[in-house]
Amino acid sequence: MIKVLAIETSCDETSVSVVSNSDDIYKIHSNIVASQIKDHSRWGGVVPELAARKHLELIPFVLEQALEESKISIDEIDVIASTVTPGLVGCLRIGSITARSLCSLHSKPFMGIHHLEGHLSSILFSKNFPKPPFLTLLVSGGHTELIKVGERREMQRLGRSYDDAAGEAFDKVGRLLGLSYPGGPAIAKIAKKGNASKFKLPRCKISDKEGGFLKYDFSFSGLKTAVLRLVEKINLNGDEMPIPDIAASFERVVAEVLVERTVKCAIDHGLDNIVVVGGVAANNTLRKMMIGEASKKSIKVYLAPLNLCTDNAAMIGAAALFRLKFAPHESSLKLGISGRFPIDQANTLYEKNPPF
């Protein structure tokens, strides 16, 4: 049995987890997540410097609690992993330095993990997870991407958002409607009381150089602006703001766009399985719509466990375990952190000469 101590500090969750893999069964022994939502809610979004300071304050206690809850000592750990890219640089640095320091102190191998690969790996904790190849829709506050996962974990990005990620759009629209932060859960809650067909909102597309559209790419900035103009018009007319209807209409359009382009991409690339991960993957409208539309095309959908949709260290540990399943992986202790780094270059994180 391989045991991994994993650390995740890429944004505003300080998380440490102990996970293991034996006979292809992935197990979570502990997964402590200290959220900073209350610290950032007054600003309507994450403040990078504040987030980094909170990570520094919280990580000793979160680390201690994760080891205590797992009943596994640091001496029994085989590998220590941490998120090194992408994310907020100051936040990534706290987790990375903590992990590399522990590796030096306890003579353990270090693995730097790509944050998106972590999200992809959250599906490994499901009772039944698909064997590659499959298509993953990764949809969160910072990322909206379609990634083809190959048989040996080769990753190819087939689609992405050119502006706001879907989760970011939820936060911004939530703020426009005067809802609490984060916007995703707040919109989903109030949308249950609204009419999703009340307002016709744009399904924005990205133009290509040939005069057509990029089939698998996303844009949510225009949708956000359309909601802003709608709110301004209603206020100008002095009418009562139909917040539930606006929220429901917005949620429906986001889900429709995500589902339509994901299913189209899977069909065009001959993929029979779709995996949905990331914070927005917890949205019930998206989950139901994806299952319904994919089933019409005989495509099976695998959804990340609800408690692992948002950022957490267990998914980082799962990414490390999956790589170790095929071959020994170890990152240089000289590996730093990077705010941005393409997922299709994640293999370079384990080279003797690190990419950053």
Residue ranges of domains in the chain, CATH in brackets: 2-121+310-350 (3.30.420.40), 132-303 (3.30.420.40)
Write the pLDDT tens digit of every residue in 165-186: 999 999 999 999 999 999 999 9
Q: Is residue 78 predicted with pLDDT exceeding 90?
A: yes
Distances (CA, A) of 18 to 21, 92, 146, 330, 331: 11, 19, 28, 18, 19
318 in Cβ contact with 125 (< 8 Å)? yes
Q: How many residues does the chain have?
A: 356
pLDDT on residue 142: 86
Q: How confident is the model at residue 210 (pLDDT cuts 50, 70, 90)?
A: confident
3-state helix, strand, coil in the chain (%, to 5): 45, 20, 35
Residue with tokens 């170890």: 330
Closest CA to 302 of 280, 273, 263, 266: 273
E strands in 118-248: 134-139, 144-149, 155-160
Taking the C-alpha atoms of residue 5 and residue 138, their distance in angstroms, rounded to an integer, is 24
pLDDT on residue 14: 98
Q: How confident is the model at residue 290 (pLDDT cuts 50, 70, 90)?
A: very high
Q: Does 120 or 151 have the greater pLDDT score?
A: 120
The DSSP H or E segment spanning 300 is strand 300-303
pLDDT on residue 279: 93
Q: What percent of the chain is predicted at pLDDT more than 90?
A: 87
* 61-70, 254-263, 323-332: range with lowest mean pLDDT: 323-332
Q: Is residue 346 predicted with pLDDT exceeding 80?
A: yes
Distances (CA, A) of 276 to 69, 120, 189: 29, 8, 21
Taking the C-alpha atoms of residue 92 and residue 248, their distance in angstroms, rounded to an integer, is 35
Task: Give the residue-averaged pLDDT of 219-247.
Answer: 96
Q: Is residue 211 predicted with pLDDT exceeding 90?
A: no
Q: Is residue 139 predicted with pLDDT exceeding 80?
A: yes
Cα angle value 246/252/253 (rounded, 5°): 90
pLDDT on residue 337: 98
Give the pair of three-digit tokens for residue 28: 């979570």
Closest CA to 310 of 111, 119, 77: 119
Task: Give the residue-averaged pLDDT of 251-268.
Answer: 98
pLDDT on residue 122: 96
**Helix segments in 269-296, DSSP class H:** 284-296
Buried-exposed string 240-253: b where 16+ CB fall within 10 A, e elsewhere: eebbbbbbbbbbbb
Q: Is residue 39 predicted with pLDDT exceeding 90?
A: no
262 in Cβ contact with 289 (< 8 Å)? no
Q: How confident is the model at residue 271 (pLDDT cuts 50, 70, 90)?
A: very high
Task: Give the residue-averaged pLDDT of 264-274.
Answer: 97
Q: At 36, is the secondary structure helix, strand, or coil?
A: coil
Give the pair of three-digit tokens for residue 176: 């426009």
Task: Give the residue-averaged pLDDT of 200-212.
Answer: 86
Q: What percent of the chain is predicted at pLDDT more than 70?
A: 100
pLDDT on residue 125: 95
| Average pLDDT over all residues of the chain | 95
pTM of the complete model:
0.93
E strands in 140-234: 144-149, 155-160
5 in Cβ contact with 82 (< 8 Å)? no
* 49-58, 205-214, 236-245, 337-346: range with lowest mean pLDDT: 205-214
Task: Give the residue-averaged pLDDT of 177-197.
Answer: 96
Q: Is residue 327 predicted with pLDDT exceeding 90?
A: no
- What residue type is assigned to position 115 of the chain? H
18 in Cβ contact with 316 (< 8 Å)? no
Residue with tokens 């301004």: 232
Q: How confident is the model at residue 163 (pLDDT cuts 50, 70, 90)?
A: very high
pLDDT on residue 299: 98
pLDDT on residue 121: 95
pLDDT on residue 20: 98
Distances (CA, A) of 289 to 21, 125, 210: 32, 23, 31
Sign of CA dihedral 96, 146, 278, 327: negative
pLDDT on residue 205: 86
